[in-house]
Structure 1
């Protein structure tokens, strides 16, 4: 695959990914640093990231749309929980409105990124429809999320090769799949399965969800009258902010009660299930998990739609384990069988750091899992690189926007001082480790080792607390545990000279 580097492929900032993280970073960077040139590389043909990838029936946000949308671009539709296609359209409109879409290069898969300390630049190699193309940049921002887009988790089910029907994974849902009037079996009980099943049940003859163990379901409203009432408070900007604050407080309250009073949370969640489900339904068999609420992420259902599908006989839940699969369906450990025309393996995702892109510093490959995370977005001793990762207990954008603001501030500081590199440095101080994601989820147990390390105290402590993070950022000391420098010692402070100028100066 030959490489070529056409003129104009240098950017002060290179953003990888045109989803929520990438578009949010682009806005904050151009807002605070309009003098900097940035480019977004997107491997897909459209804006949206995960909201373009996932197209299964019922795809929607698993948190409210007000905290999932950007603070700088209000959500104008009435929903408090939004469908996937509406979210993708919102992202596309936001990018177009603020001129971000002109900076996107589509169908561009990033293969590798190598930092050169002699020039303080990244060389980024990409694959564009089979042809190699090289980009150079001063700063690299990863808006790639945390899971493998190409390879979802697919456990081995004995006999699945003998199955005569369609086998699909939600991450790669075929647009031409016809399940109308058919029996559908869904293996898995995570957020994807829970949001998918009510939609499937509208067209399928029957839907069966097979789960090894129960999951906590939190019922919310697609359109929240309280939120829409707050939105009417004048001026519109204040009303929107109040709606946003209401949802933030709701997230904090639900999580806080779950962690501090798990028994109370259990009773409340169980009471909602009993309210929607038929009398004498075995709630404790199918909806009473062994773990406490928020040991794993709670799954959102809309106004009890999942329970209603069960109550109406359009769907059912079977709590058992798959023994094997034969030509016509699933045989369970208990001996029960489930006949199915379509088999959906909603078995989860696989974690992946930095989008699976090979990263090296001066020719030496970097293993992200060997590095501590600094302020939840920079990696120990890796210059001019940021990675956006959202919260596990709140909407993605709450942390993504904090990250985008922090990177924009760092770039402004570097530019005003004439710095061409910056990186966090732990030094010789011993740092105890703790899990970066303190959640008892299958995908974390399977591949948590691919994530960078978390320390136990700031600024190396990865925590999932938006309120504390927002306070910290407001009083942030940008030089704390950071190393700053410039490739050219004679470069005057505050010169605003770009890396492209420095490259020319260095080569001369």
Structure 2
């Protein structure tokens, strides 16, 4: 039976992945009197972990920081997709959040009504995709940053001529049997690094075809401190909190190391590979032209990718594609690769707006025409926030939980001052620097470059750009929503005098238990 959609709630969260669950937990614990719904187009929770079902799918962050601060992780640092889905389900059940989730619910339109101070939401719901309409005072986008319905596959010449099977990892066929098949995996990022060793166990042979080399982090799938604390019978919540703090500290130290000493860091990463590969293989296939901090490191727990190469079950080829042939791929070098299956691990399509048609009082707008405040709010767009996590060394969930607290404080401010809406002002610069496409996605990955034109602009000072965890863990909680950066309005649309309300004491705030704060 499909649950109904209420006509009106205080908050609507779009997306039932990690960010959406973090938002739901924050709303339930910090604003228990507010009504809210979490809407998701899939038939269940999970987001990425529901759509990505390819062989070996696993996290590329440790679960102590990729997991929630409020739910201890008790397994190995790197977890399978199935384990992560179970963990998320347990979080929803343990905190009694099930009643707020509405699955198979796809939002197609959102219009802000400044007279009523409401977002009017339209979409389709249930297996029959029945139309629905609802309204909310605040809209919270937690659907991620890429298009779940379609992955990115380059338009290679004569792609349709291939006589075998072409699969994008986002659309892996359930129960697909590749036993004894020759497989080419195009790509060298985290997805390819996961697919190649997993498929190599059953396939006849797997070739990883990359345009250019990637850095890989090689480490055992264990955390010695966590293991020691568990052996000492320390409570799981305390273990989770301590190890989470330790990992975030180590990540920050390492990021500063690779930024300050890029050549040394590059040499250190490459130095780990000769244990599996020849010097010639390392130089040709695993020595990137960029520096380690410019893209996320691909994870190879226990060196599984390199074990597959060493054992002869997998091969790496660095070349570019001239065309697809009936039997495989013709390379620019003149070589050819034959295959029964081609897997296009070639990345995502950026989609920052969730494929929703947005408008203000009936007039359409595009997020790329706005200026983004810390990647969370957008100029002249009232009562809307977006949760997007870290994309380099720090994990996605660390930032989503910081943003969850940010949004809950913002809602508390609206209640305290009697305002109905809040929006962020267009930034001003004494230097005359204009907004530009900046650090909304601070990344050089191909999907970020392809989709840069669809990103919001960033402002002239650092507060208008997304920062790193060690800045934001202190700066986000310190933001004053009655400051001149923000515009507060009453039900009549008139501005609330921030100077008069700034001194009003906060009431009814709820403090999280110390153990929940973790590294966040």
- TM-score, normalisation: structure 2: 0.90
**Cα pair distance change 1:395/1:426, threshold 3 Å:** same
Conserved? CA contact 1:26–1:100, under 8 Å? yes
Conserved? CA contact 1:230–1:243, under 8 Å? no
Structure 1 segments unaligned to the other structure (5+ residues)? 1-5, 497-508
- How many Å separate the matches in 2 of 1:146 and 1:304? 29
* Matching residue of 2:267: 267
Conserved? CA contact 1:163–1:327, under 8 Å? yes
Q: State whether structure 2 residue 33 is matched by structure 1 residue 25.
A: no
Q: CA offsets, 1:139-171, max 9 Å, x none?
A: 000011000111211101212211111110001
* Matching residue of 1:174: 173
Aligned partner of 1:47 among 45, 68, 72 = 45
**Cα pair distance change 1:489/1:112, threshold 3 Å:** closer
What SS does the aligned partner of 1:459 have? Answer: helix
**Cα pair distance change 1:7/1:62, threshold 3 Å:** closer
- How many Å separate the matches in 2 of 1:317 and 1:194? 11
Pairing 1:33-112 to 2, within 5 Å after superposition: 33-76=31-74, 78-112=75-109
Conserved? CA contact 1:354–1:387, under 8 Å? no
Could you say what the CA RMSD is over the residues aligned between the two structures, in angstroms?
A: 2.1
Conserved? CA contact 2:115–2:493, under 8 Å? no
Conserved? CA contact 2:406–2:477, under 8 Å? no
* Matching residue of 1:500: none
Q: CA offsets, 1:382-418, max 9 Å, x none?
A: 1000011111112100110011110011111112222
Conserved? CA contact 1:455–1:462, under 8 Å? no
* Matching residue of 1:447: 451
- How many Å separate the matches in 2 of 1:160 and 1:478? 52
**Cα pair distance change 1:427/1:392, threshold 3 Å:** closer
**Cα pair distance change 1:489/1:285, threshold 3 Å:** closer
Q: CA offsets, 1:190-209, max 9 Å, x none?
A: 11101111101111110001
- How many Å separate the matches in 2 of 1:317 and 1:348? 18
Pairing 1:160-309 to 2, within 5 Å after superposition: 160-231=159-230, 232=232, 234-277=234-277, 279-309=278-308
Q: CA deviation at 1:271?
A: 0.8
- How many Å separate the matches in 2 of 1:37 and 1:396? 26
* Matching residue of 1:499: none
Q: CA offsets, 1:70-98, max 9 Å, x none?
A: 1011112x211111111111111101111
* Matching residue of 2:149: 150
* Matching residue of 1:474: 477
Structure 2 segments unaligned to the other structure (5+ residues)? 507-520
What SS does the aligned partner of 2:249 have? Answer: helix
- How many Å separate the matches in 2 of 1:419 and 1:360? 22
What SS does the aligned partner of 2:354 have? Answer: helix
- How many Å separate the matches in 2 of 1:376 and 1:160? 37
Regions of 4+ moved over 4 Å: 427-431
- TM-score, normalisation: structure 1: 0.92
- How many Å separate the matches in 1 of 2:173 and 2:255? 36
Equivalenced residue count is: 487
- How many Å separate the matches in 2 of 1:7 and 1:209? 46
What SS does the aligned partner of 1:400 have? Answer: helix
Conserved? CA contact 1:29–1:407, under 8 Å? no
Conserved? CA contact 2:68–2:397, under 8 Å? yes
* Matching residue of 2:409: 409
Q: CA deviation at 1:53?
A: 0.6
Conserved? CA contact 1:80–1:227, under 8 Å? no
Q: CA deviation at 1:233?
A: 6.8
